[in-house]
Structure 1
Amino acid sequence: MTVDVKHYVAADLPEIRQQILDIHVEVRHRDFGLMGPFYEVGRFDERLSAYSSRPGWTAVVGFEEGRPVGFCFGTSLGANTQWWDDMTSPLPKEMTTEDSTRTVTLNEIVVRKPWRGRSIAWQLHEAWLAHRSEERVTLLVNPANGDGVVQAVYEAWGYRGVGQQRPFPDSPVYAVMLRAVKQA
């Protein structure tokens, strides 16, 4: 099954912000029961605003019959990024040096329950990456999500673990994963 995928840039965020927030609440709160300050919609909206204010932010939203079914978004890592600063074990400098063209972060990818298990997340992921010019993509995943199933999905998509980090004092410890933007 495929969905209609629309691409967005930061200037378009007012058009899709509420859809993203509504999907976040539906999936994170209702489906997965993720509660607490870190997962509250206000905190998520703050992170969304912060991410979208950075150069290179883009998003995709998937639609079926006009209904939003999921989204993903991310941004380029600039030369002054703090992305790699919260690693529990430091990585080599040659791995963490950024210049706004080397690495893009996949900050969020979320699909509503009725559309899960139908390759929609993969479709959104690949549609989003198709418009990226960076060499590599990185993401954070909670290794406990789905008892490791979510991380295994990313591994099947070509990501490999490079360490762990806790980016916010009240966030979980995440696995940091990396892969090439364009797969062979």
Structure 2
Amino acid sequence: MTTLPVGLEFEHYDKAEARDLRAVVEEIYCRSYVEAIASRDTFDEPEAFMARFDAYTNPAQMSRLELVIARVDGEPVGQTWGWPLRPNAAWWGNLELDDPDADRAEFIAETGRRTFALSEIMVCAEYQNHGIAHALHDDLLDRRPEERATLLVEPDNSRAYAKYVKWGWRRVGTLRPRWPEAPRLDVLIRDLG
């Protein structure tokens, strides 16, 4: 059984507060995705990641982003965030469902209260394998009132994929986000409540 670090605390922030924590978000990203950044894949470069973060926290966007930062004795060691999908959400663009008999229109129908999009979850390299990612995941999702949650994962990210399946997620299809250089990703769903 994994033992969480002593002194672990979670802090919750809304979109405006998240914008003010931009430097902390970037620090956590750089300390979490060391190998991905070293690969020089343009999608994983810190500048590309922060451009996506800036879009998520843009005041003109209607999203109700929630950010959770994990700290150990005050030091930021991980983060997760997401938002409820609004009606006609762009999130589902390019979705290809695995089930050919599934009603795509029904699946992507959003009310603003149906689906929570879990966008990011990461833990700094030196704190990985201590249960922090799972604790962050549960802390954010256990508070959500939506019916279900969705996330996107690279199919070859076997480490993350195995954890998501263990945590109750299931694959329903694939899509390629509209971000520049974005890869085709697997779409996972998890019931909430």
User: Could you tell me the TM-score, scaled by structure 1's length?
Assistant: 0.90
Corresponding residue of 1:98? 110
Listed as ranges, the matches of 1:111-130 within 5 Å are: 111-130=123-142
Corresponding residue of 1:41? 46
The partner residue of 1:58 within 48, 58, 66 is 66
Corresponding residue of 2:16? 11
Corresponding residue of 1:75? 83
What are the Cα deviations for residues 57-104 of structure 1, in whole angstroms up to 9, with x where unaligned? Answer: 101000001100000001111002111111245862111100110001
Counterpart amino acid of residue 22 in structure 1: E
* Aligned-CA RMSD value: 1.7
Q: What's the CA shift for 1:42?
A: 2.2
SS class of match (2:177): coil
Corresponding residue of 1:31? 35
My pick for the range that moved more, 133-142 or 85-94, is 85-94
In the alignment, the residues of structure 1 paired with residue 54 and residue 21 of structure 2 have an alpha-carbon distance, to the nearest angstrom, of 12
Q: What's the CA shift for 1:131?
A: 2.6
Counterpart amino acid of residue 12 in structure 1: E
Counterpart amino acid of residue 31 in structure 1: E
In the alignment, the residues of structure 2 paired with residue 14 and residue 88 of structure 1 have an alpha-carbon distance, to the nearest angstrom, of 33
Q: CA 1:87–1:14 in structure 2 vs 1: closer, same or farther (change >3 Å)?
A: closer
Q: What's the CA shift for 1:129?
A: 1.4
In the alignment, the residues of structure 1 paired with residue 40 and residue 89 of structure 2 have an alpha-carbon distance, to the nearest angstrom, of 28
Q: CA 1:34–1:7 in structure 2 vs 1: closer, same or farther (change >3 Å)?
A: farther
Corresponding residue of 1:156? 166
1:179 aligned onto 2:190? yes
Question: Unpaired segments of 5 or more residues in structure 2?
Answer: none
User: Could you tell me the TM-score, scaled by structure 2's length?
Assistant: 0.86
Percent of pairs with identical residues: 32
Q: How many residues are matched?
A: 179
